[in-house]
Structure 1
């Protein structure tokens, strides 16, 4: 479902502060919600899903799709109206504060700033074995039509792969004199992604202090607003491309060195 301002357009002249979802007509509050309940598929499960949607403020709520997931679980799609408004003035996000650069621009800036290659060490830490995300950023094949960081002439990339322990990551980063460390976390059970990242950032601070490399965390369940909580310099979430990471590295190195273009 989309969202539209009560009057005007959200970003245009005369835009209103509040918006609500819409489905069939502007301002009708219609929204679509999906979830799974640990209930066998059937009328009782549909009733439970509808009750849950009602308690979440969706009224009326219609179960438009339900499907069994094994013997004891059911997946639902519920459609209905909500009365809540979104206050755009209270929305907190991390805005990109740096320009997106082309690979040639990244190479030129790194050469000018460092007069050597910028060293990037990447890994999936802890028990996380999902390397799709870190490989999409680091490997030359890249992601979303963009080449990965291995493609950049002035970057030296060390991809440690999956299930790398924090002590091993710190040792490797020190051995390679890393300028930046990128870690990817996909597994989120019991907040493993948060705990692993906090352990990693604490280990680098203990081992290297102010001389630590840039610490960057990425994964689909991370919120970019979590950087301070995690103890890292930047958090990238779903949809991040290699070019965005490369551009950030240039921005962060320039800022750290107090250099200007």
Structure 2
């Protein structure tokens, strides 16, 4: 049995508890604003708290960086994560698996739903240029990719998925004011469950920097991918789930 290990943040020396925090206050930049920033950090448990950077953001807002010590401990054994339960495949292996299992191309429909106009995430996964040195899904010979781009209405996404006979639907959400990414995702998953029988519904996959990967069940999707996800990870997941479903 491994020994329980509690950890504390590291700043200048091991276990000193030093952390750096950034935030914006709706105050013009002056000494009162800096004092308010220090007060906020202190209420969050930083002691001492030092304002190391302050920059006006227009006439009525100020951006702060605060450096200070916290006294909290973290138990890594209590952290919940979503472990990868499928093998990472090369593009060649993905193509071979699709051809062997489906005997047709695997169809992927993707886009940004709602008012989200930030396509950098979905493009990083779908476009051939890819991300982090990996080619996007358009590069895979046995995958048919339909990228709908930005600001796609949920009914339009469902309609296109039906028309394309999609095996998987990928949605990227970057804009997150007032939890819009969660509301949009729940709306999307409900629409697909209404439009498809359970055994025919395409895989629903969402991704974005503010998603919690453990929330797939709560959001009604099959997988949530967070920041730093590469095209190869997504392609490997799709092949794993679609080929497993087809073999069932």
Higher relative contact order (CA 8 A, sep 6+): 2
Distance in structure 1 (CA, Å) of the matches to 2:147 and 2:69: 47
Q: For structure 1, which segment, 92-101 or 55-64, has the greater mean C-alpha deviation from structure 2 after superposition? A: 92-101
Contact map agreement 2:8 2:17 (CA 8 A) in 1: yes
Residue matched to 2:169: 181
Residue matched to 2:160: 172
Structure 2: tracts of 5 or more residues without a match: none
Q: CA RMSD in A?
A: 1.3
Contact map agreement 2:102 2:246 (CA 8 A) in 1: no
Residue matched to 1:132: 120
Contact map agreement 2:4 2:77 (CA 8 A) in 1: no
Distance in structure 2 (CA, Å) of the matches to 1:228 and 1:146: 29
Q: Report the count of equivalent residues.
A: 247
Residue matched to 1:110: 98
How far apart are residue 144 of structure 1 and its match? Answer: 1.1
Distance in structure 2 (CA, Å) of the matches to 1:17 and 1:115: 50
Work out whether 1:241 is the aligned partner of 2:221.
no
Distance in structure 1 (CA, Å) of the matches to 2:73 and 2:110: 41
Work out whether 1:24 is the aligned partner of 2:36.
no
Residue matched to 1:88: 76
Please list, as runs of the form range in 1=range in 2, the aligned pairs for 1:63-78 lying within 5 A after superposition.
63-78=51-66
Distance in structure 1 (CA, Å) of the matches to 2:151 and 2:65: 35
How far apart are residue 15 of structure 1 and its match? Answer: 5.3
Residue matched to 2:197: 209
> Displaced runs of 4+ in structure 1, greater than 6 A?
none
Distance in structure 1 (CA, Å) of the matches to 2:244 and 2:23: 43
SS at match of 1:252: helix
Distance in structure 2 (CA, Å) of the matches to 1:244 and 1:28: 36
How far apart are residue 128 of structure 1 and its match? Answer: 1.1
Deviations 1:58-109 (A, max 9, x none): 0011111111111111111111110000011110111111121110010011
How far apart are residue 257 of structure 1 and its match? Answer: 3.1
Distance in structure 1 (CA, Å) of the matches to 2:47 and 2:232: 44
Whichever structure has more strand as a proportion of its residues is 1
SS at match of 1:21: coil
How far apart are residue 254 of structure 1 and its match? Answer: 3.0
Q: Work out which of the residue numbers 150, 174, 195 in structure 1 matches 2:183.
A: 195
Distance in structure 1 (CA, Å) of the matches to 2:139 and 2:59: 48
Deviations 1:171-198 (A, max 9, x none): 1101110000001111111211111111
